[in-house]
Chain A
Amino acid sequence: MSSRIGPAFHRLRQDRRMALIAYLTAGYPNLESTPELLAAVAEAGADMVELGIPFSDPLADGKTIQATSQAALTGGITVVGALEAGRRARRLVAIPMLFMTYLNPILSFGLARFCKEAAGAGIDGLIVPDLPPEEAGELRAAASAQGLDLVFFVSPTSSAQRIDAACEAATGFIYCIAVTGITGARSALDPKVIPLIERVRERTDLPVVVGFGLSRREHIAALEGHADGAIVASALLDAIRDAPADPVGAASGFIRGLR
């Protein structure tokens, strides 16, 4: 099975559209709701979904994802549970799905075994924020063997050399971090992300996707014509948190409001 990510970006480029990518924490607000939430954001217009597998010590994440991760872990989410949620979601949606997780849970599970089971569940790619390209050899091999894309990051602090290393190692897309900082909704988009996107473009033909801090329609609009995709995470999870009676409706409404 080959990844759905490349073909999806190809179609988006033909349509001159930027991808809207929604992040959900597996098991938040509870295990049962994850496939349904995922289907709802797809229906509302998300072009891809990142499904976070919670880790006890998410050191690249701000308060929102710390809280959703902790709630999901308290609710009993496991790597196996996240794989099962992915498998169930795959029956409901056709869009690309990626797992985002820190290294230790999948290292503990076994990298080769994890990649095999993720691919089997219908997952298309992996994003691991504490795994820079120079430490990624084993996971690259394991992901590649299963046809999974492995995404790497560039940040405002990345040198030209480091951008090259990320572009060399990555498949699927390049994750361009919009802020020098951790995840979490911010009120403004730092305009310095545009030249960073351009620096990456000079070095790769891979799609360039922006994430961290994006929370509003105008942030997405500002990236149109520059980026190939925009990731919305904490702001979506905040909307879900604030609507305990109807998390699916809140997620759906939030995604619709971004376009």
Chain B
Amino acid sequence: MSARGFVKGPDSRGRFGEFGGRFVPETLMAAVDELSTAFAESQNDPDFRQEFDLLSKTFSGRPTPLYRADRLSESAGGARIWLKREDLLHTGAHKLNNALGQVLLARRMGKHRIIAETGAGQHGVAVATVCAKFGLQCVVYMGTEDMARQSVNVYKMRLLGATVEAVESGSKTLKDATNEAIRDWVTNVLDTHYVIGSAVGPHPYPLMVREFQSVIGREARAQMVDAAGQLPDVVVACVGGGSNAIGIFAAFYDDPVRLVGVEAAGRGLKTGAHAASLVGGRPGVLHGSLSYVLQDDDGQIVETHSISAGLDYPGVGPEHARLKEQGRAEYVAVTDEQALAAFHQCSRLEGIIPALESSHAISYASGLAGGLAAEQNVLVNLSGRGDKDLDIVRQSSGG
């Protein structure tokens, strides 16, 4: 029990309160059991931690800097805005933290084939990168709509030696890529590890992804204290499945710090064309866990929309559902248009081109900072860089 009464979790059944669990076909239960055991053992093994820490430093480029965004703060007209620069991590996003951890774990388990799903392609590139480094076979499932809007990342994955499997089913985006990856895993479970890219899926994935991403929050917390002499008043992160958010939030659970998750409101919450599971969904089971899900009245998962492929997902990690239920974190949503405006603003004012995913967090943080006092601090997880989004921004901006 923390100082603020928030129980970190999960319990032994993989539940964060009522959320989480393991809702997978029987064929996968042996694999998630094996994974739980292997993960727990790895966390108590100093050699594993040492290898993870060393590669995080020498291969990934950790620690990433904390940056005070003065012109963005000035423009917001209130609190100081700080950016945790996960965009500067190798491969351009926070996704590498989890990919590295899980691939190290897969090697430890003797699995020589790695599969992954990807939306924006950042997770796929991160997994393909680590597989190249270790000489492992890598297959990445990606919806054809996402392949079209993130073609540079498709090319990168292939350069790195991965096979990119085009997924034509359903909405042809992240949800369907995840279905296909799970089907592959069911079929090849004996020699294959599935590297889920976000804090979603059956236990132990939400726990494991949080732990591998929590380096973001640990660093940022220490860096804030060092640079600002105090903790931030608010921490803001974008939420698709929620891995970058859980990674930065987890370090602040016991602190008097507001935590804000920003989902994708797409064309507007009222239009139905959005991907805001926590703001606009209700509890349900998707991809192996009980959490908030965007679904119709009959329990069918609905198609989502976001300009950002990485947020275009109808579910969210179960720990976020718990944080929402407990009131420990608050969840809001930002539209495509607002995210695009923040994308341009951050580029112009700070010389940093943010990922469209992260632009959602920047947009909300700027508004929030405007209503706070000058001596207050807002910490934003700048989870990825925007190079991959240039085509779509150019199209959206008519130029």
Complexed CA–CA distance, A70 and B22 (Å) = 25
Apart from A108-B297, A132-B29, what 13 extra A-B contacts exist at CB < 8 Å? A56-B301, A57-B287, A58-B179, A60-B27, A78-B298, A107-B284, A107-B285, A108-B284, A131-B23, A135-B21, A153-B26, A177-B27, A181-B186
B73 smallest CB distance to A (angstroms) = 43
In the complex, whether B182 has a CB less than 8 A from a CB of chain A is: yes
Within 8 A of A (CB), among B169-208: 169-170, 175, 179, 182-183, 186-190
Interfacial residues, chain A to chain B (CB-CB below 8 A): 55-60, 62, 66, 70, 73, 78-79, 102-109, 129-132, 134-135, 152-159, 162, 166, 177, 180-182
A129 x B25 contact (CB < 8 A): yes
In the complex, whether B245 has a CB less than 8 A from a CB of chain A is: no
B298 x A59 contact (CB < 8 A): no
Nearest 9 Cβ contacts at the A-B interface: A108-B299, A105-B299, A153-B26, A181-B187, A155-B27, A157-B30, A56-B300, A60-B25, A56-B301
Please name all residues of chain B whose beta carbon is closer than 8 Å to the beta carbon of A181 when the two chains form the complex: 27, 186-187
B301 smallest CB distance to A (angstroms) = 5
Contact of A104 among B179, B187, B299 (CB under 8 A): B299
A104 smallest CB distance to B (angstroms) = 5
B279 smallest CB distance to A (angstroms) = 19
Please name all residues of chain A whose beta carbon is closer than 8 Å to the beta carbon of B13 when the two chains form the complex: 134
Closest B residue to A60 using CB positions? B25
Q: 1/0 contact trace for B209-247 toward A, CB 8 Å?
A: 000000000000000000000000000000000000000
A149 smallest CB distance to B (angstroms) = 17
Closest B residue to A132 using CB positions? B29
Complexed CA–CA distance, A240 and B287 (Å) = 30
In the complex, whether B24 has a CB less than 8 A from a CB of chain A is: yes
In the complex, whether B342 has a CB less than 8 A from a CB of chain A is: no
Please name all residues of chain B whose beta carbon is closer than 8 Å to the beta carbon of A109 when the two chains form the complex: 298-299
Within 8 A of A (CB), among B7-55: 13, 21-31
B163 smallest CB distance to A (angstroms) = 19
CB contact under 8 A between A73 and B300, given known A103-B23, A135-B22, A166-B26: yes
B31 x A157 contact (CB < 8 A): yes
Please name all residues of chain A whose beta carbon is closer than 8 Å to the beta carbon of B175 when the two chains form the complex: 57
Closest A residue to B183 using CB positions? A182
A132 x B24 contact (CB < 8 A): yes
Please name all residues of chain A whose beta carbon is closer than 8 Å to the beta carbon of B28 when the two chains form the complex: 157
B24 x A130 contact (CB < 8 A): yes
B54 smallest CB distance to A (angstroms) = 34
In the complex, whether B286 has a CB less than 8 A from a CB of chain A is: yes
B183 x A130 contact (CB < 8 A): no
A104 x B26 contact (CB < 8 A): no
CB contact under 8 A between A108 and B287, given known A56-B170, A60-B186: no
In the complex, whether B295 has a CB less than 8 A from a CB of chain A is: yes
Please name all residues of chain B whose beta carbon is closer than 8 Å to the beta carbon of A78 when the two chains form the complex: 298
Interface residues on B, range: 35 or more
Please name all residues of chain B whose beta carbon is closer than 8 Å to the beta carbon of A58 when the two chains form the complex: 179
Please name all residues of chain B whose beta carbon is closer than 8 Å to the beta carbon of A153 when the two chains form the complex: 25-27
Q: 1/0 contact trace for B302-346 toward A, CB 8 Å?
A: 100000000000000000000000000000000000000000000
CB contact under 8 A between A156 and B170, given known A104-B284, A107-B284, A108-B299: no
Please name all residues of chain B whose beta carbon is closer than 8 Å to the beta carbon of A157 when the two chains form the complex: 26-31, 189-190
A180 x B301 contact (CB < 8 A): no
Please name all residues of chain B whose beta carbon is closer than 8 Å to the beta carbon of A156 when the two chains form the complex: 27
Complexed CA–CA distance, A214 and B187 (Å) = 16
Closest B residue to A165 using CB positions? B29
A154 x B300 contact (CB < 8 A): no
CB contact under 8 A between A182 and B295, given known A60-B25, A155-B27, A177-B27: no
Please name all residues of chain A whose beta carbon is closer than 8 Å to the beta carbon of B297 when the two chains form the complex: 108
Please name all residues of chain B whose beta carbon is closer than 8 Å to the beta carbon of A70 when the two chains form the complex: 169-170
Complexed CA–CA distance, A132 and B297 (Å) = 25
CB contact under 8 A between A104 and B30, given known A135-B21, A180-B187: no
B177 smallest CB distance to A (angstroms) = 12
A41 smallest CB distance to B (angstroms) = 25
B204 smallest CB distance to A (angstroms) = 14
A17 smallest CB distance to B (angstroms) = 27
B285 x A180 contact (CB < 8 A): no
B31 smallest CB distance to A (angstroms) = 7
Complexed CA–CA distance, A84 and B31 (Å) = 38
Complexed CA–CA distance, A131 and B289 (Å) = 10
Complexed CA–CA distance, A40 and B70 (Å) = 74
A154 smallest CB distance to B (angstroms) = 7
A108 x B22 contact (CB < 8 A): no
Complexed CA–CA distance, A210 and B297 (Å) = 34
Please name all residues of chain B whose beta carbon is closer than 8 Å to the beta carbon of A62 when the two chains form the complex: 183
A158 x B285 contact (CB < 8 A): no
Please name all residues of chain B whose beta carbon is closer than 8 Å to the beta carbon of A155 when the two chains form the complex: 25-27
A180 x B189 contact (CB < 8 A): yes
Closest B residue to A58 using CB positions? B179
Contact of A152 among B26, B27, B186, B189 (CB under 8 A): B26
A130 x B190 contact (CB < 8 A): no
In the complex, whether B164 has a CB less than 8 A from a CB of chain A is: no
CB contact under 8 A between A130 and B301, given known A104-B284, A181-B187: no
Please name all residues of chain A whose beta carbon is closer than 8 Å to the beta carbon of B26 when the two chains form the complex: 129, 132, 152-155, 157-158, 162, 166, 177
Closest B residue to A152 using CB positions? B26
Closest A residue to B301 using CB positions? A56
Complexed CA–CA distance, A57 and B169 (Å) = 10
In the complex, whether B293 has a CB less than 8 A from a CB of chain A is: yes
B44 smallest CB distance to A (angstroms) = 23
B179 x A57 contact (CB < 8 A): yes
Complexed CA–CA distance, A152 and B356 (Å) = 44
Please name all residues of chain A whose beta carbon is closer than 8 Å to the beta carbon of B285 when the two chains form the complex: 102-104, 107, 130
